[in-house]
Amino acid sequence: MRMTRQRKVLLEIINQAASPLSAEEIMLQAHQQDPSLALSTVYRNLEKMLELGLCQQIRFQDGLARFEQAGLVHHHHLVCTACGRREAVPICPLHQIQQQLEAASGYKITYHEINLYGLCPDCLKKQVSEQTGHP
């Protein structure tokens, strides 16, 4: 893979990100360093990085493709349904039962994803104060 100016920017953004980013979010961040970087370049590079195992794709309920750095510790995602905040959950309850699932289904399972949805601590607080009237 030729290390172009654009690729350096994109790789850095993905590797620094605290949570999965959409192609557009990545482009917006990239524009701070290189305003001419095209959205199609973002998509083409994300595709290549997926092939090379440099990043991973995730989809939450909204159906948007989001991308995060590969090579992180195995984890899953927690999404706040009120503010959209997304964070990693390092706990995985599947490893222990994967063999059991394979035996029961006859599948050879190669990977899995778990997405959890709910209210983050902040939105939870807001919701409570709205109900009681005590901020």
**Which residues from 3-62 bind DNA, rule CB under 7 A?**
3-7, 22-24, 34, 36-41, 43-45, 47-48
Least distance between DNA and beta carbon 63 (Å): 6
Q: Identify the residue whose tokens are 């983050």.
A: 120
Is residue 135 involved in binding its own copies (CB under 8 A)? Answer: no
Residue count of the chain: 135
Q: Which stretch binds its own copies (CB under 8 A): 13-21, 29-37, 40-48, 86-94?
A: 86-94
Measure the CA–CA gap between 127 and 9, rounded to whole angstroms: 39
Please identify which residue in 32, 53, 63, 105 interacts with DNA, judged by CB under 7 A.
63
Measure the CA–CA gap between 29 and 122, rounded to whole angstroms: 25
DSSP 47-102: HHHHHTTSEEEEE-TT--EEEEESSSPS-EEEEETTT--EEEE---SSHHHHHHHH
Positive or negative, the Cα torsion across 63, 87, 79, 75?
positive
Least distance between its own copies and beta carbon 27 (Å): 19
**Which residues from 98-127 bind its own copies, rule CB under 8 A?**
100-102, 104-121, 124
Q: Which residues bind its own copies (CB under 8 A)?
A: 57, 59, 61, 63, 65, 78, 80-81, 87, 89, 91, 93-94, 96-97, 100-102, 104-121, 124
